[in-house]
């Protein structure tokens, strides 16, 4: 592969990567406290780290050491409020905090949840829906999108929720919602919790409390199978600011309307492929990306190329390949470029599933009509020419906790929790997202996930330039001559061929 | 091929097939009349058979001898009214009529029309539209559907219109409309003319008068190319009885809205394939049929499986092949069975053209929705069990003039003017139309063309049984064992395997 436009490496701070000391006896502090005034952690959290459900004292066993340290640091510096914990944490040295964290992180977890609170089917459904599907229409991505499948946590920024006590989760969500807790990464939880009702907070807290804390992190495909089967009557997706009746005549039907027949089976096959593409369409995928990484909310979100309005625009001429494309050919294009794979045949189960899923999402949309809401939402022209150096800073501050310091994404077991943005496991040089303008528009309207709208127009352009300035798999249309390939296929805002884009790159 | 259920052959009368005598001097009668009181034909029709445009005396040159004889017979027996012609024809013996007819039929035709009447673009457009597209919403098929491309006639029932004088055509249409002429085959022209306004009669008469009478009958593909390019703002199709607002929320857009771009080119490619399938998709066609033979009015007619509502029902599960079918797979099925050919690849120009054309016809129709008007209109249960012997009589009286005594259709040059209904050039044993119930429903709602609704429910079932009792190309799914193939694929109302259908065949 060609090394593309090279930009000076940026040092990205990562929270608590290596342990700070191993000589302090964590168990002693947990069970007996310290002479400097730290009370014994076990008094509230237990020597087994189970916490106390009724009191709302959190389970610490199973949290990562990094996360526990970061919270102790926050208590000590008073960035996190808690009358009990602030003096305790302040009384611990850095080494002692690390030792306590290592102790709790090293405990094994019970297989079953501490509490088996009876909860009604309706409330359980609400909780599960928030956890696994989200409420994108009101700015709430699925909890599992960050906290991992079944809420087993994604180190080091997104703590385990499975088996955490409901009273504790609820108290934290209420604290974020009320502006009393501030130490969340990027302010994501303040934003998300602010969009949850009290009853939703109850429901989702109960849901995660009922998950088995010690359950192995199951393979994505297994979890996805369950998630894909969830049918919900939740309101269809809508993007906040544009959600006015006259602008939004169309919404996709809820999944509860997927028919219980052969067509419905194909629709669910398509949904599974869509949300877990490497797992369900591995024969045609050459990287770590799923369709849903760019088409958020299961392909329903207006600002991220929703599939219903896209479906009714095909067949359609595309300048990219100079021909009229059927919906199947368009999908094959995604597999070739965005998935860096190979095109599924038109009559394959993968293709038929995706087309059936898109047709379901398009139910009621007018055929052969440009609905004006397909595609990534627009972004204004950049005030200044996009600068990858400025973008590197935006990236470090806003993107690195999910997508990694080198754009490598975050894995959870064998699967990716957060997609890689460059490198061999990401989209290739033929994908739409390698164009700075496309990436900028996507980022501006959708990132950071759960706090979209947070980045300025300039930030979005700059960070798009940073992401797209890195190397990635070769364009499948590469003919052995970089200059010729660039001239033929890359006459737009991109870094293909180790050259920066021209002056037109900011619009 | 297997010889299917055999039914006794039926003698079908054909008008004036062989000449009756060759010893009479036609030219003498034409120029001098006869001693028995027949005036010289040339006095009004000219020795060159050109007629007199202003007087409305018809051009006889270029009409078939059979047609001229049939009209002389009708004048003589007073089945056709005309104060001048009735005594003249009555004064001619059978042999003399034939001789006169042979004389005029043998004349060569001028290359240019006799009159070059100036007609406005708007009126010309109306005339051309009626001639080539029809006004199906009000029971008027395209004139050329019976009278041949450019109106050059289809022997022996549908006379040449090209270059016929406008005043004559107009007078005949007005006579049919007013109930003063009755000798048209099946009463078709009485029905059609009754559905034309006076200004439409003017326009279509002028249109055909302006066509070159002596022009060679051009190949279908050439004519179709022109016809396919016609864009019209005519009202979209609607089937008469059901044309109530609440039942018909959807109509396909007029062809004037086909965009002038690459997608529009694909749409027009698809239309060409649709209306002249053997000519434009020959690689995939194994018989003489075009899509439009079953999907009338360019795929717009409600009663004959309109393509717009069909398009939005796919992907869809089909019991026929036990799987979810994309629109491409459904079309491939049509080529495999109804076209007795082979399936066009999903990314072929033929397939992409058809899908683009269907999407165009579906413009505005709600995606993934059963619009309730797709498919052939229903037909009531047959009062008596369908009987192919009764059907043979219905066929002889109503179908044979177009589809031929042995179901062979009618050719015009190399192309088919009217489709064959059985035999090697027709659909095979896997096509939907081989099912008696499907054929009965189609026939009842659509046949005879231009006079649909003329056949009773029982007639439609009987003639469907007659048509479908004949042999045709083998089912492509045939595995070498007729009984096994019948058991696996023909558990319905059909004659496959030389067996009559069961008692369920009448519903």
Site from B368, B369, B370, B374 to mutate, A interface, most A CB atoms within 10 angstroms: B368
Per-residue pLDDT, averaged over A357-374, amounts to 89
Q: Residue A17: its pLDDT value, please?
A: 43
Nearest Cα neighbor of A470 from A392, A381, A415 is A392
Partners of residue B356 in chain A, C-beta under 8 Å = 315, 324
pLDDT grade for A226, boundaries at 50, 70 and 90 = low
Distance CA A493, CA A484 (A): 16
| Contact between B358 and A326 (Cβ < 8 Å) | no
Nearest Cα neighbor of A266 from A352, A330, A331 is A352
Q: φ and ψ at B29, to 5 degrees?
A: -65, -45
Question: Are A317 and B347 an interchain contact pair (Cβ–Cβ within 8 Å)?
Answer: no
pLDDT, one tens digit per residue, over B1-38 is: 343 333 333 333 444 444 455 578 999 999 999 999 99
pLDDT grade for A62, boundaries at 50, 70 and 90 = confident
Per-residue pLDDT, averaged over A463-479, amounts to 97
Partners of residue B367 in chain A, C-beta under 8 Å = 308, 311-312, 359, 362-367
pLDDT grade for A240, boundaries at 50, 70 and 90 = very low
Between residues B372 and A242, which one has the greater pLDDT?
Answer: B372
pLDDT grade for B228, boundaries at 50, 70 and 90 = low
Q: Residue B222: its pLDDT value, please?
A: 55
Q: What is the mean pLDDT of chain B?
A: 87
Using a CB–CB cutoff of 8 Å, tell me whether A352 touches chain B. Answer: yes
Nearest Cα neighbor of A265 from A196, A331, A175, A357 is A357
pLDDT, one tens digit per residue, over B48-76 is: 999 999 999 999 998 999 999 999 999 99
Between residues B39 and A110, which one has the greater pLDDT?
Answer: B39
Instruction: Give the rounded percent of residues in chain B with a pLDDT score beyond 70.
Output: 86
Site from B254, B315, B366 to mutate, A interface, most A CB atoms within 10 angstroms: B315
SS3 A112: coil
Question: Are B363 and A369 an interchain contact pair (Cβ–Cβ within 8 Å)?
Answer: yes
Per-residue pLDDT, averaged over A1-5, amounts to 38
Per-residue pLDDT, averaged over A249-260, amounts to 88
pLDDT, one tens digit per residue, over A196-223 is: 999 999 999 999 999 888 765 555 555 5
Q: What is the ipTM of this complex?
A: 0.83
With 60 as the cut, is the pLDDT of residue B486 above it? yes
Distance CA B58, CA B194 (A): 22
Q: How many residue contacts between A and B have a Cβ separation below 8 Å?
A: 101
The Cα angle at residue A129 between residues A123 and A135, in degrees rounded to 5: 115
| Contact between B72 and B100 (Cβ < 8 Å) | yes
Distance CA B178, CA A2 (A): 82
Query: What's the predicted TM-score (pTM) here?
Result: 0.86
With 60 as the cut, is the pLDDT of residue B435 above it? yes
Q: What is the mean pLDDT of chain A?
A: 87
Partners of residue A328 in chain B, C-beta under 8 Å = 326, 328, 346-347
Give A501→chain B minimum CA distance, Å.
Answer: 29
| Contact between B408 and B423 (Cβ < 8 Å) | yes
With 80 as the cut, is the pLDDT of residue A10 above it? no
| Contact between A95 and A16 (Cβ < 8 Å) | no
pLDDT grade for B498, boundaries at 50, 70 and 90 = confident
**Segment holding B202, helix H or strand E:** helix B198-209
Nearest Cα neighbor of A33 from A22, A52, A23, A47 is A47
Q: Residue A109: its pLDDT value, please?
A: 84
With 80 as the cut, is the pLDDT of residue A225 above it? no
Which residue is associated with the tokens 């009764």? B390
Give A362→chain B minimum CA distance, Å.
Answer: 6
pLDDT, one tens digit per residue, over B252-266 is: 999 889 999 999 999
pLDDT, one tens digit per residue, over B273-305 is: 999 999 999 999 999 999 999 999 999 998 899
With 50 as the cut, is the pLDDT of residue B247 above it? no
With 70 as the cut, is the pLDDT of residue B47 above it? yes
Of A131-145, B461-475, B489-503, the range with the highest mean pLDDT is B461-475
Q: Residue A246: its pLDDT value, please?
A: 38
């Amino acid at each position: 592969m060609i090394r593309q436009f090279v930009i000076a490496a940026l040092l990205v701070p990562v929270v608590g990567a290596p342990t700070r000391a191993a000589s302090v006896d964590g168990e002693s502090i947990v069970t007996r406290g310290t002479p400097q005034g730290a009370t014994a952690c076990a008094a509230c959290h237990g020597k087994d780290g189970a916490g106390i459900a009724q009191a709302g004292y959190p389970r610490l066993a199973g949290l990562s050491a990094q996360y526990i340290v970061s919270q102790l640091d926050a208590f000590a510096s008073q960035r996190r409020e808690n009358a009990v914990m602030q003096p305790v944490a302040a009384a611990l040295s850095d080494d002692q905090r690390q030792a306590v964290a290592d102790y709790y992180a090293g405990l094994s977890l019970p297989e079953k949840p501490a509490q088996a609170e009876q909860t009604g089917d309706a409330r359980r459904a609400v909780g599960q829906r928030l956890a696994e599907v989200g409420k994108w229409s009101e700015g709430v991505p699925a909890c599992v999108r960050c906290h991992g499948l079944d809420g087993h946590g994604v180190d080091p920024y997104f703590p385990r929720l499975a088996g955490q006590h409901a009273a504790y989760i609820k108290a934290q969500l209420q604290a974020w919602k009320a502006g009393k807790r501030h130490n969340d990464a990027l302010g994501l939880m303040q934003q998300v919790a602010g969009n949850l009702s009290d009853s939703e907070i109850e429901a989702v807290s109960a849901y995660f409390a009922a998950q088995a804390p010690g359950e192995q992190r199951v393979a994505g495909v297994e979890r996805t199978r369950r998630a894909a089967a969830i049918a919900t009557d939740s309101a269809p997706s809508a993007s906040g600011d544009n959600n006015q009746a006259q602008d939004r005549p169309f919404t996709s039907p809820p999944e509860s309307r997927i028919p219980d027949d052969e067509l419905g089976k194909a629709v669910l096959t398509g949904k599974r492929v869509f949300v877990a593409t490497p797992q369900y369409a591995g024969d045609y995928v050459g990287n770590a990306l799923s369709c849903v990484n760019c088409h958020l909310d299961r392909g329903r979100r207006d600002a991220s190329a929703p599939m219903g309005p896209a479906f009714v625009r095909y067949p359609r001429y595309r300048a990219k390949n100079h021909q009229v494309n059927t919906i199947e050919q368009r999908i094959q294009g995604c597999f070739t470029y965005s998935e860096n794979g190979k095109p599924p045949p038109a009559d394959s189960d993968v293709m038929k599933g995706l087309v059936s899923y898109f047709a379901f999402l398009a139910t009621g949309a007018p055929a052969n009509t440009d609905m004006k809401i397909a595609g990534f939402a627009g972004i204004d022209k950049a005030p200044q020419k996009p600068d990858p150096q400025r973008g590197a800073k935006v990236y470090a501050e806003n993107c690195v906790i999910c997508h990694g310091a080198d754009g490598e994404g975050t894995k959870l077991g064998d699967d990716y929790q957060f997609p890689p943005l460059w490198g061999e496991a990401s989209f290739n040089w033929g994908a739409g997202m390698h164009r700075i303008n496309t990436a900028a528009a996507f980022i501006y309207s959708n990132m950071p996930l759960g706090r979209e709208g947070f980045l300025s127009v300039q930030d979005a352009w700059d960070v798009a330039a940073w992401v797209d300035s890195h190397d990635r798999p070769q364009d499948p249309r590469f003919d052995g001559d970089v200059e010729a390939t660039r001239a033929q296929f890359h006459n737009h805002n991109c870094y293909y061929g180790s050259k920066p884009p021209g002056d037109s790159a900011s619009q």
